[in-house]
Amino acid sequence: MKASFCRYSATGNTFLIFDNRDASLTSLSGEHFANWCNTHYVDGLLFLESSDNPKADFHMRYVNADGGEVEMCGNGARSILHFAGQELKMTPSEGETFSFTTMNSLYKGKGDGLFPLLMTEIKDWNLIDVSDLFKSEMSYYLNTGVPHTLFQVDDLNNVDLQENGRRIRYDERFPKGSNVNFFQLEGPNKVRVRTYERGVEGETQSCGTGATAVALSLGKLKGWGPKVEVQVPGGLLAISFNEDFSEVYLEGPVELKERGLLNIE
């Protein structure tokens, strides 16, 4: 048996995406998925599936590079919007906007342009004190679908991201772990970010939920907005939000890199 996939890059975040509406891939193990990620050098796998929610066009299941399913991936969600609209030619139920479920929430986004995604899980604003984990001018904790710790630095290039990221990610105050972001201010509403991602257990070229967390923390603490440009190693993301953060959008380029087949043993 073979499974067809599309390989995507969203500002350097890489994924294999599968149409799993027939549930043929659902029973495969996490070890199987981890092997696919390792073999194809991607950050994770995305499965477009049928949703039980009548308001949703589809369900997005996300599996990290370690084979574990997690709550959300911002760049993954924007990639699956491209897959739904451009590859599968699905028709959104709400005009130009798709609605889809994830592990914990309902999201909306467009399947073209810069694939803007309405971020619907913004919570736990500085709920956990992380100021002792890294010497920083500004530190913050925020969950933007997945948990993130944030630390401002003067020189992003001099941060030992692997050592510090791993240490912070496994701190006991995070029962399920935390993604770790270091950021450097570049000017008004412009910031550079590097991210250590749990599940990948290393630096990724981009992290949409991490970029969103950094932008919102700067909006909250420094009055930035209504649009923040976030430079990540893989490209440029933009996060737009209103004054009370009730509407938050993540957008940026998405590229289809390859179509292929995988053997299922």
DSSP characters over 185-217: EEETTEEEEEEEETTTTEEES--HHHHHHHHHH
Residue (of 230, 175, 229, 217) closest to 198 by Cα position: 175
Instruction: Identify the three-state secondary structure at position 87.
Output: helix
Catalytic residue list contains 6: no
34, 70, 72, 73: the catalytic one is 73
46, 60, 207, 239: the catalytic one is 207
Catalytic residue list contains 207: yes
Rounded CA separation 18/159 (Å): 36
Letter string b/e over residues 127-166, b meaning 16 or more CB atoms within 10 A of that residue's CB: ebebeebbebeebbbbbbbbbbbbbbbeebeebebeebbe
Positions marked catalytic = 73, 207
